[in-house]
Structure 1
Amino acid sequence: MAKLKLGLQLGYWGALCPGENHTLLAQEAENLGYDSVWTAESWGNDCFTPLAWIGAQTSSIRLGTSVAQLSARTPTACAMATLALDALSGGRMVLGLGVSGPQVVEGWYGQPYSKPVTRTREYVSIVRQVLARNAPVTNDGEFYPLPYNGPGSWGMGKPLKPITHPLRADVPIFIGAEGPKNVTQTAEIADGWLPLYYSPYRQEVYADQIAGAREGFEICPTVMVNINDDLEAALYPVKAMLGFYIGGMGSAKRNFHKELMARMGFPDEAEQIQSLFFQGKRDEAIAAVPDAFADEISLCGPRDRVREKIQDWENSPVTSLLVNGDEDFLRDLAELVL
């Protein structure tokens, strides 16, 4: 079984630009042998610009978007950004895509959140057409018709192919998927999967959905790591994250993170967390997160315990752990994993 790789997950920015901190972390990760560095977007910074900045100041580490939101740009615009960044970095780009959720898609991008699985398939098909550059790009799908001949059209559009010859036709495409149908499709059409939560102790949750994956398919979950002799203290940041995502990252009617927690064996607890969160009882929502669930999807506790748990991840289909921390943390984890 292949040894686990490590990726640096920088995520999206908070209230302030992180300045050179992210670049320095990426450089340290590259020096330590990390395989990849990832940037994200929500409703603040975009994910391509920071990645280009980091790519200009590194030389070998892979550059991934985790994730580029489909509604933020058309598929051809996304393919153009991918084409450019892959060429400038010497073939280091990994395009991570995701549909986001209805609150962001409809509230921030002003687009309907409908048929996300179908939309994703169309999107990926168009991106691959652009990068392959075999013929002018066309699409007769429901969401991204090319050329466009709908309402308001001048009737003058014609199929085009990129002026610039892509450095690689096979830039890896990963998808951040949670729902069963989306994960199944990801295994079919993508080169990798970016799970938000994964438990090496419950491989059966996704076993059937990833069974049809192509050879070399990568699975790269973001995993919180906290080395601390006090296990309860080590797990608290994980529970705080879960309390926020399961309680508040979605509406009361539809929260994909809550639904995932239920499928992973904790339906009653997921319901309780959301209920407490919407009542404004955030501390109680965090406390309601089961230690067992937080522990399964993370690497927490004393150093020897973390070392033992890494073996469980190595015995799973996971290929890379995407982690975040300061330079001392990156060095410490490299010693344990690499």
Structure 2
Amino acid sequence: MPPRWGITVPFQGIPLAEQRELVAELPDLGYTDVWSSESNAADAFTPLALAAAWAPRLRLGTAIAPVYTRGPATLAMSAATLAAAAPGRFALGVGTSSNVIVESWNGIPFTEPFKRVRDTVRFLRRALSGEKVTEEYETFAVRGFTAGLVPDEPPPLLVAALRPGMLRLAGREGDGAIINWLSADDVRTVVPHVHRGGPDKEVAARIFVLPDVDPDTARGLARRQIAAYLNVPVYRAFHEWLGRDELTPMWRAWESGDRKGALAAIPDAVVDELVVHGPAQHCREQVQRYVDNGVTTPIIALPGPGDPVSAVRAMGLR
């Protein structure tokens, strides 16, 4: 059994207020962690606050809270509050998010993302330790902020990273990296960049899983997810760096406005590499491959379809 076995919350298809029983069941199913995300549905912190009360044994993590959409002090306060509510059980994952979320949806310029993450991590280190911060960072300035709530144990800071620069930043100035949308084999390419900052750095990976879904249905759903994500510039650049030339026809079709053609151009082999599907036991074995290749915290993400309760239980280790 891997030391950690995480899952993404909240669960799709169940009203948030009705997820208490399933979340409370997670430790008995073998899950050790719950990790949130933040795009256009639930925010990153509220589901974790609920999980902190519903399942006090679970570790909690954000994967991720964007560094642009909250001011630095607000982000520090959100993190400190959750760390104080769940002492020793919270990890703060931060990252750039994407130009779509930051610019198109929030009206904030998506400029100098590497520097913005670096500056935010440096600020959070100081703020979450209770230090008064007055600093002119390259991408923002903070004048006289002192956190009024300082957790007894500051949370680890993980950085969402795709390519070498951010991966090395995650290992050098963070406590580890959060990786996303890659195959088990890709992990061997990514992890050494993080470990340049130390062999003990955490590597958390969100892994998309469709357990007990027939291949045609799974591949159809996965293609839509792949097209939605991997045409976003940051993810396209990531897969170009990984050498996934098989996606070039998809990118060309998408650029020309041919959405149906883009979906059709995604090869089955790429779908099967990036989205785990099949019988639940097979899915667990494939997630274990990520761990074998260097992931320390696998985070299962269940994009549907069907009954989320059955999927959560099927992917448990007990």
Q: Same fold (TM over 0.5)?
A: yes
Contact map agreement 1:131 1:168 (CA 8 A) in 2: no
What is the aligned-residue RMSD (CA, Å)? 2.6
Q: What is the CA–CA distance in structure 1 between the aligned matches of 2:215 and 2:24, rounded to whole Å?
A: 31
Q: Secondary structure at the match of 1:223?
A: strand
Q: Secondary structure at the match of 2:277?
A: strand
Task: State which of 234, 238, 249 in structure 2 corresponds to 1:260.
Answer: 238
Contact map agreement 1:79 1:131 (CA 8 A) in 2: yes
Cα offset, 1:182, TM superposition: 1.1
Change (3 A) 1:33 1:208: closer
Contact map agreement 2:188 2:294 (CA 8 A) in 1: no
Q: Which amino acid aligns with 1:60?
A: R
| TM-score normalised by the chain length of structure 1 | 0.82
Task: State which of 141, 164, 178 in structure 1 corresponds to 2:137.
Answer: 141
Q: Which amino acid aligns with 1:315?
A: D
Contact map agreement 2:176 2:203 (CA 8 A) in 1: yes
- Which structure carries more strand by proportion? 2
Q: What is the CA–CA distance in structure 2 between the aligned matches of 1:114 and 1:28, rounded to whole Å?
A: 42
Q: What is the CA–CA distance in structure 1 between the aligned matches of 2:17 and 2:96, rounded to whole Å?
A: 29
Are 1:236 and 2:220 matched, yes or no?
yes
Task: State which of 58, 62, 66 in structure 1 corresponds to 2:63.
Answer: 66
Change (3 A) 1:64 1:179: same
Contact map agreement 2:163 2:241 (CA 8 A) in 1: no
Q: What does the per-residue CA deviation read over 1:54-90, in whole Å, with 9 as the maximum and x for residues that have no partner?
A: 3222211112112111111122211111111111123
| Larger mean Cα displacement after TM superposition, 290-299 or 110-119 | 290-299
Task: State which of 104, 110, 113 in structure 2 corresponds to 1:113.
Answer: 110
Match of 1:334 in 2: 316
| Larger mean Cα displacement after TM superposition, 59-68 or 273-282 | 273-282
| TM-score normalised by the chain length of structure 2 | 0.87
Change (3 A) 1:89 1:231: same
Q: What does the per-residue CA deviation read over 1:121-160, in whole Å, with 9 as the maximum and x for residues that have no partner?
A: 1101111111112x3212221222122xxxxxxxxxxx24
Task: State which of 160, 164, 179 in structure 1 corresponds to 2:163.
Answer: 179
Cα offset, 1:4, TM superposition: 5.1
Change (3 A) 1:302 1:209: same
Change (3 A) 1:12 1:278: farther
Query: What does 1:8-27 correspond to in 2, within 5 Å?
Result: 8-10=7-9, 18-27=15-24
Contact map agreement 2:7 2:31 (CA 8 A) in 1: yes
Match of 1:167 in 2: 152
Contact map agreement 1:105 1:113 (CA 8 A) in 2: yes
Q: What does the per-residue CA deviation read over 1:212-271, in whole Å, with 9 as the maximum and x for residues that have no partner?
A: 133432222111222348444433322221022123xx3xxxx1111222222323x333
Task: State which of 210, 216, 220 in structure 1 corresponds to 2:204.
Answer: 220
Contact map agreement 1:63 1:93 (CA 8 A) in 2: yes
Q: Which amino acid aligns with 1:328?
A: S
Contact map agreement 1:12 1:42 (CA 8 A) in 2: no
Contact map agreement 1:86 1:92 (CA 8 A) in 2: yes
Q: What does the per-residue CA deviation read over 1:22-44, in whole Å, with 9 as the maximum and x for residues that have no partner?
A: 43432222332312112222245
Contact map agreement 1:221 1:322 (CA 8 A) in 2: yes
Contact map agreement 1:4 1:321 (CA 8 A) in 2: no
Unaligned runs of 5+ in 2: 303-307
Unaligned runs of 5+ in 1: 148-158
Task: State which of 115, 119, 137 in structure 2 corresponds to 1:122.
Answer: 119
Contact map agreement 1:274 1:285 (CA 8 A) in 2: yes
Task: State which of 308, 311, 323 in structure 1 corresponds to 2:300.
Answer: 323
Match of 1:273 in 2: 250
Q: What is the CA–CA distance in structure 1 between the aligned matches of 2:76 and 2:213, rounded to whole Å?
A: 46
